[in-house]
Structure 1
């Protein structure tokens, strides 16, 4: 039996709805009667239901707010709204919540029974489709992994898979992760089949962010296959604003070749870290790559951090993760080895300087978790640069070898960094020669005053980007940058990534 909750603030109507319907005959059971949305939510925490019948206007929490909270957690539960004439327009706002129907007061018994009948049938369809999808997905994964030894012909008939042309390839399409449901993925695959109808593409969804394209033709080579898949990639990005990474298999000739081709595309996915989203690759991309161990100059890293040379360390990391890797054409395994070495090296610096993890510095586990979530080399470089800048900031804080005037300036900047402040203003405040004060500041702090102020603004901006939902333009003004484009340039110089890219990195 499907379970029902009824929410209505008027006792007479609530009791009436409960009594006028023969619930058993419909295969339904009323398990909850609530007087407002808040009470209904509390009841659902104890026992979930399949169908919710609710009024719109209720005290404490309205019907729409109640349904919105339920829908955020549950896509299966069906909703029926009861509404007075005066608030019918208001009820129309529930359309995005996938409401089954609206019933106007006074409630017509036959109308409510018809709607409940339709709702039960829809639930049966949803549940049957779900069972079919799970069973089919299980068979698909078994086939793709090469573990299906029997009943292949039955599976091919169920899925409609066929190879009726001499040459075929499998393309594995990986969408950049974000919150999406299977319906959206099905929409993307339908769009591809319609858009490239002349290619007779077959699609198979096997994961929440990945699907396969089976492309067959009377003639095929790697360049032709890649060109057509790049066209698919372009249209997905243009129409859905979703970036993808596509790996393309070797050419095969029959249905039994699909599983081997799939496994080949999965192995190629480890090169996402080098190629990045927005690209497509085949086995030629890996050809000739070296498993060369990239050396890490730990003494130079120590020297640059100790000298608080932000520009120097940024250039070194950029060379390490961009220029060096591209020139050497190394394997993805060599990249991961380098990542681990650098992460361990920075943890060594933290220990040697006796820096506290209570600050913004991350421990090894936290750093590695971020690195393994990174999409490509640009993300990895940004993660390391941010961590290095935090280490430099903490070393600054721990340095007590400042003269009183420099210590006072550093203290003042903590309060007025966002104001239009410069060395000349400070020199007048402390009755000193501007040039002399600048020399003292650079000698003790390790960088010019203007650079220190810029770094402080960028550090504050970074915290706001990672910890708030403020718009980038508002953050720029908040930390004292009147010109947003100038803020973008200075932030990227400091951290090696743009403010927008850093916020996107945070979301994954």
Structure 2
């Protein structure tokens, strides 16, 4: 691949050549010229794939030179670089086929990134079977890719409206983001609803939704639509009726593809710098919509007052009080709020993750209730956990947990309280104390008690403050200490007696727990 640089200032020309040489890109030839006329001679002879040119050149300007290049049967990739900030230069350069426009002075890293992007674009086009026939089409695709990357950057990082950003917005016809209010709309599908489908088929469905949305957005200008880094769709639009856009997309996707897309809508923003904030709001609203089977279009403004992270403990307190007061409405309101909070957690991506979060929260409510009424009201039926695991949607999970909290209301006013359910933990401890010398595991104990091992693990940790294995090890080491001091059994016999078949493993555990080897402990060293 060949590249030519046209710049009349010697120092800048040498600097750009040095940047190209240090970029690691495999250019077979790098041409450098000071004038447009001499550059045209080289371009006509060698046909370099990339032209990097200044605008202001002696005798013939860079843009006039590009006019002559355009007359050739030849479509290079052009990067225009200039200290001139007049938009007419950028506009004309784009019309002449330029794929990017950079204002001087530019950072070395930025220049390398731009050249590399165009280099990669040319490489991709070379591998295409229709290279010559479709070069202009590929140039447009490359331009769209650069625009998409630019908009992605605005969404992901808070960006101040500086001069170079201002000109990029104009180059990509996005200047309306500076002057008009706008919203961000996130669009995706719930992959859990496509179980049994291969990933490639799900991606095709998502692509089809994107095509529908893109076609619809032609009627709602000013707007721009891109793929996000999560491979779903993002729309920035100044159209004031954003709800009508979302409904239009939803209804057509359902009619044509039989798919119910999830859509999140940010608050309306009035400053360019708020794009990243709006994007984050749209992502949060989308997450609610993805797990909400009954409501697939969610505005951030509807959930903004219910996602205060500092409010989690207070919600548990309020729900416990509502249970004691028999206030079903307050219980439902608190439950809805905490579920929405959990949905927004980074580690929640499906209903199963949400079930675990809700399970832990319900246990906290039980503990609060027990403290408030000074009696054991932490009843938690084992089957509730397994039912929660099987809930296919957020609505099903909400109904299940609400039903359980309503049962707690009855228990709170019933003087005939059930026995402490965490007698299960007492049972676990007794099993360990009786069978510590055997092959005891969380699974074997859970099987013996006919409960789910994950539920048992979480309950054991909550009630005792340590996990199952740590407790088992503690019991075994205590028994080993007694046997070492009170019997003449050999160390390997003691290890086997307390459930360890490998004496080396037993020795390491013992040393870790007591800071002494079994032999040192036996003789009091």
Q: TM-score range by the shorter chain?
A: 0.3 to 0.5
TM-score by length of 2: 0.33
Larger radius of gyration: 2
TM-score by length of 1: 0.34
